[in-house]
Structure formats: C-alpha cells, structure tokens
Chain A
C-alpha cells in the first residue's frame, strides 16, 4: 500500500512524516523545504506501508517545477491513499487544496494539523461537520507532539483497503460541469491512473504536464478542449482556470465559515515579535545582532574544543610515528590516516555541530522568511527577488539542497542565476576552512569580514550576470509563517541528519585523502600536480605545495584545509603561512569550483554545459576575488597588526 503525504507548505507534513518514519525528511519553518520525495517503509497495524513525503504545494495548478512534479507523481505512480495534511490555523487555504485533491477521485483522508496552535488563536474547528460536508474522513492532529497520528494512519489504511475513492463536490456553474462531462467521456480508462473527470478538469484548467500524453493517446479530444475553453471564456468572461479556482476559493471560504468558530485570540506575542524583528530600522539591527551572536557562539564553542583535541591528536601522531619508525613510508601513511581523523574530529566537527544547531534553530523558529522580507530590497539589486534568498540561506548549510531548492523559482533565468550565486555561499564545509584557519589564527572579526566580503562579491557578480541577461522578474511572493518554538528533538535530529553526511561520506574520504597525500608525497606525484597548479598559486602568492590540497578540495571543501597541514608539513599553520596568505587561500577556497556533489546537483538541475560554465566562472571569480582580498589585506594589515 502506498500512502502519499500531501499538503501546503508549512502544514507540518514533513514533521508528521518524521514522526512516523524517523527523521528522514528535512523540515523547516520555511515554505518549500522539501524539494525531493522521501520515501519510507513503515509498519501500520502490522501492515507494510510505503509512505511518500511530497514537496509542499499550495495548489495542483502549480506553476513551478516542484509543484508540477507533485501532480505528475500522483498521476504516474499508483498512489493508494492520499493523506492530505491541512494546517488548522489556515483552514480555508488548506481546504482549497483539499478540494482539488478530492477531484482526483482517489481514496483520501484529511489530517487537520496544528490543532494546538489553532486553539491558541481561539479557533474551534468542528471536525465531524467538515467530514460530513466533504464526505472524506477528517481527523485532528498535533504532529509535533505525536497526537492523533495513530488514528490518522489506521483510518488511512482502512480507506486504502476499501479502495473507495473520494467524491468531488460538483461545481455550481452548470456550464463547467457540462464541459467536464463532455471531455471526460473521451477518456474512460484510456489514460492510466487518471479519473476521467479529474483529467478533464485538469486539461480545461491548463494541464500542461498532461498535454503530450493526451495528444498521443486521445488526439481528437485536443480540439474539443480548446473549443470548450473558448466557450466557457465567452460565457463567463474568464478562462476556465479562473472559473474553477474561483469556485473552489468561495467554497473553501463557505466551508470554513460553517465549521470554524473564532473565540478570543489569546496570542499576541507573535505580532509583538514581528513589530521588533520586521521594524524598518530595528529589524536590521536585530538581524545583525542575531548573525553576530550566531558567529560568536560557533567560534567560541569551536575554538574551545579545537585546541585540546588537536594537541591530543598531534601527540598521538608523534607517538605512532616514533613507534613505527619515523620517516618510513608506513609511519607516514599511518600518521596521514590519524591526521585525517584529527581533521574531522578537531577542525571540522567542533565548528560544524554548533553551526548546524544554530541553523536548525533559526529555520524552525521561522526567522528565515523574515530575513527574506528584510532583504528583498537588497536582493532585487542583485537582479533577483527575495524568494531567491531560500537557496542562499540553505547554501550556508550545504550547496546541494541550495541548488535543488532553486526548483521553487518559476523562471529558468532566476533558477540559473540563484544557483550560480548560491554555490558561492560558504557552506558548512567551507565553515571549517574559514573558522579552522582564519578565525583560529586571525580572530573571529576577520572571519566575519570574510563572510561580508563574500556577500559583496556575490552582489557584484549577481549584478554583472543579471545585467547580461536582464529580464524583469515578477517579484517576491512568499508566505511568512508564524513563529514557532522549535522542539529540541527536531533540532537535534536535523543537526544529526546533516552532520551524518559529513561523518559518513566526507570523513572517510578525508582520512583516505590524507593517506593518499602521504603516498603522493612519497612518490613525488604531488610535486607534479603542484607544478601544474603553479600558475594559480604563484599569482595568488601562495606556497606551491598548496596546489595539491586545492585539487582535493574539489572532492570536499574541508579536504583542502585538512590536507594543507600535511602538504605544508606543519602542525601550526602560522609557521608556514602569513596572515595575508591565509586570507587569500580561504577566499580562493570559498569561491573556486563547487564540490563534486554540488556539481552533480547542478548537472541534474540544469545541463552539463551550464555546469561547466558555472565551474569555469567560479574559478575566474575566485582568482579575482582572492587577488583583490590579497591587496586589501596588505592595506589593512598594519591596522590589525598582522605580520605580512
């Protein structure tokens, strides 16, 4: 049995999925966090069930790629039950989607989630009355606390086993129903998985995603659809798309009025928080304070752990090397392995973990859409609108989801531009380089300076690129969800979910890479690669031994730092690199070629040609940005009393 979870963004669908399937889906208090499907097998009353978490979608007539995928999935796969999650605090909007889903004629259950939040708003929802009116089971749910889940799934299972499809509520306007019936009669069983009437509605509305298949299998209907569309437009003065959606809109409002009664609102702190956080002046001050605090915490936690851990691993390396026989190939490779372990444990994780906890907290609390609101005016100057801030913010975690989240943007131009720019945002892997090198040796202010410089460069690049293919974008349209208190459990799981990727995928690579580097050093392969990269390292004023770590850095960005220590043959970077060199190196690492996983994601979203273009562009930007930073660092060095 296959159960598909469907709901509008921010309805708590992924939270429900995670409660049932154990943290596999990314959640966040931000519209459009789920961009890929997560599928999981779960046991419900002893029966094996495939549970699919679909990306949040406001409506089935969606215009962006993520939304089209939802509909395609519903049509192509054999979904047995639709489990529609509706946010109780936005019942009316949720019901609009429910009405669309009911048109598909599949077995369906509605879970009205966030009943606790609705209660705090003074909402009282009459579930049985709603069930009566829709003819579909309606159950209350507080997914965050695990309440109502058991009953919801038991019902879903029963409905699925019955196989009884939902009955849509007829449209008021007779011409619409007439048109549906006329078109539907052509389809009886001809298009697999689709209810004929559902398909007829879809095609009258737009049905872009089905057009091709219909043209192939029932060609004679195409002309008739066009004729009906024109007839409806002539009669009602609007296209069928608007006639249908207006009816659903009004019906959803009527239903809501009938089943929802509003008591006294008991929650005003939401508005008070927004008064401060979205204030035209204090909002920006608070944004800076939030970011600065975030930085300080990551830095303080990291540095407290890094020192003792590094010392312990260095002592261990020295011991091992002496024990095996220092200078021998075996000793070098073993020490390489230990240094790889040390790199992960002492340099990456101490910063990565607090960073991820902080990110998870800010996501769940609902602050990020507010950042989008505050930053829209600035984003527009990059040729993008505020919604493109989603990939940017996700980019601080990992570039891969950042690239994938560009799917929620309608225009190809916006997608390409925001993906290109988002890959330049220093991801968590690059955090290791910025903090492990720059913050550790030069202080957190310089690290913050690198982040700001990074944004300035992105702004300039965005400006230049958008001038090249300038086209007016429609502008920001983004839901701003209420603030929510994140549960420690979700933040913990989210942190683990993301840190796991480093621990399981990158860390082994780091250890192997460190050992490989020792081998390469031994057989003098690294000299060859360093010579090949000499033009780059020479221009940047870096030691030529930096070449090899830069190559490894394409695999994983942390590798470039961890291997740098070995490549330079020092335990303490300050013995081999000047402050200016550290800054130059870090800037270059931040911008040059996205890591392998990101390149793969880019290729999936765009094309090989675009990916090569982005990678090539990134090298040019990295060179220029690093050179400018180098010059700048010389200028400010006396002020910050660096040695050059």
Chain B
C-alpha cells in the first residue's frame, strides 16, 4: 500500500521509500524513515498534499512524494 492511498485519521507504518535518493533523504532529514509510524491527519482537496504526523511533528507531503512511500497496516 502507498501512503498516498491511506485514508484520513489512519495510522500506518513506513516500509520503504522508493524512487531515487532525493525523496528518501529529505524525509530522513525530517525524521521519517522505514519502521516509523505515521498518521495521516489531513488530505487537501484538488489532489493537494497530505498532512502526516510522526513522532509529534506534522509534515505536509505532496502527492508525488506520498506515492513513493510504501506503507503497511499496523496490526493492533
């Protein structure tokens, strides 16, 4: 599953970040790495960005970026 397809208020775990070094590195700088739990708190309309929360920090991610983030459901 990709992060871009995750519904609002859902929490998932990052499995992998695909597509070149650039995106993965930028996400790493914001402390988003494989293994982390992220929650999608908002989805902007008109194919706008997603607002995700991880480790108490909110980050806005464009759709293109979110499409490169592979995630999995967290089994509760």
- Give A residues with C-beta under 8 Å from B: 58-59, 61-63, 89-90, 92-93, 96, 121, 241-242, 245-246, 249, 252-253, 274, 278, 280-281, 369, 372-374, 376-378, 380, 385-386, 410, 472-482
Instruction: Kindly state the separation between the CA atoms of A191 and B60 in the bound complex, as whole angstroms.
Output: 40
A374 to B42, CA, bound (A): 11
User: Which residue of chain A has the shortest Cβ distance to B46 in the bound complex?
Assistant: A377
Rounded to whole angstroms, the CA-CA distance of A376 and B31 in the bound complex is 22
Which of B25, B41, B60 contacts A61 (CB under 8 A)? Answer: B25
Q: A92-B31, A246-B33, A474-B26 are in contact. Are A376 and B57 (CB under 8 A)?
A: no
3 smallest beta-carbon distances between A and B, as pairs: A475-B62, A476-B62, A475-B64
Q: 16 additional contacts, CB 8 Å, given A61-B29, A63-B26, A90-B56? A: A58-B29, A89-B56, A92-B55, A93-B55, A249-B31, A274-B42, A278-B44, A280-B44, A373-B44, A376-B44, A376-B60, A472-B64, A474-B64, A475-B62, A476-B62, A478-B59
Residue of B nearest to A62 (CB): B29
B61 at the interface (CB under 8 A from A): yes
**Inter-subunit contact B64/A58 (CB<8 Å):** no
Is B30 a contact partner of A373 (Cβ separation < 8 A)? no
Nearest residue in A to B42 (C-beta to C-beta)?
A278
Q: Contact: B65 with A479, CB < 8 Å? A: no
Within 8 A of A (CB), among B12-33: 22-31, 33
B52 CB to nearest A CB, Å:
10
Neighbouring B residues of A480 by C-beta, 8 Å = 51, 58-60
B51 touches A476 (CB 8 A): no
Residue of A59, A241, A246, A474 touching B23 (CB-CB under 8 A)? A474
The answer to whether A476 and B61 touch (CB under 8 A), given A374-B44, A376-B49, A377-B47, is: yes
* Contact partner, B59, options A249, A380, A385, A477, Cβ 8 Å: A477
Complex alpha-carbon distance, A280 and B44, angstroms: 6
Which of A93, A372, A376 interacts with B30 by CB under 8 Å? Answer: A93
CA A240 – CA B26 in complex, angstroms?
16
Contact of A377 (CB < 8 Å), options: B24, B41, B44, B65:
B44
Question: Is A475's CB under 8 angstroms from B48's CB?
Answer: no
User: Given A376-B44, A477-B65, does the pair A369, B60 have CB atoms closer than 8 Å?
Assistant: yes
Query: Which one of B24, B29, B55, B60 lies within 8 Å of A373 (CB-CB)?
Result: B60
Q: State how many angstroms separate the Cβ of B16 from the closest Cβ of chain A.
A: 11
Measured CB to CB, the closest approach of chain B to A56, in angstroms, equals 11
Contact B62 A477 (CB under 8 A): yes
A58 to B46, CA, bound (A): 30
By the criterion CB–CB under 8 Å, are A380 and B62 in contact?
yes
A480 to B48, CA, bound (A): 15
Asked whether any CB of chain A lies closer than 8 Å to the CB of B2, the reply is no
Given A245-B33, A373-B49, A475-B61, CB of A410 within 8 Å of CB of B22: yes
Give A242 to B16 CA distance when docked, in angstroms. Answer: 12
Question: Would you call B22 and A377 a contact (CB within 8 A)?
Answer: no
CB distance A376 to B48 under 8 Å? yes
B45, A92: Cβ atoms closer than 8 Å: no
Interface contact A474-B48, CB-CB below 8 Å: no
Residues from chain B with Cβ under 8 Å of A372 in the complex: 60
14 pairs across A/B with beta carbons < 8 Å? A58-B29, A58-B30, A90-B55, A93-B30, A93-B57, A246-B33, A249-B28, A253-B55, A369-B60, A374-B44, A380-B62, A385-B62, A475-B61, A477-B65
> When A245-B33, A410-B22 are in contact, do A476 and B60 touch as well, CB less than 8 Å?
yes
Distance of A386 Cα from B30 Cα, bound (Å): 17
The docked-state distance in angstroms from the alpha carbon of A475 to that of B64 is 6
Whether B31 and A386, one on each chain, are in contact in the complex, defined by CB atoms closer than 8 angstroms, is: no
- A63 lies within 8 A of B33 (CB): no
Within 8 Å by CB of B56, from A92, A380, A410, lies A92
Min CB distance, A415 to chain B, in Å?
15
User: Are A376 and B62 CB-contacts (below 8 A) given A61-B25, A480-B51?
Assistant: yes
Q: Are B25 and A63 in contact (CB under 8 A)?
A: yes
Q: How far is the CA of A477 from the CA of B62 in the complex (A)?
A: 7
A61 / chain B contacts, CB cutoff of 8 Å? 25, 28-29
B65 pairs with A478, CB closer than 8 A: no
| Chain B residues whose C-beta falls within 8 Å of the C-beta of A281 in the assembled complex | 45
Please, how many angstroms separate the alpha-carbon atoms of A59 and B43 in the complex? 27
CA distance A225 to B28 in the complex (A): 23
Query: Considering the chains assembled together, what is the distance between the CA atoms of A424 and B69 in angstroms?
Result: 35
Interchain CA distance A281-B56 in the complex, whole Å: 26
Asked whether, in the complex, the Cβ of A386 is within 8 Å of the Cβ of B56, the reply is no
Q: Which partner residue on chain A sits nearest B57 by CB separation?
A: A90
Please give the distance in Å from B75's CB to the nearest CB on chain A. 20
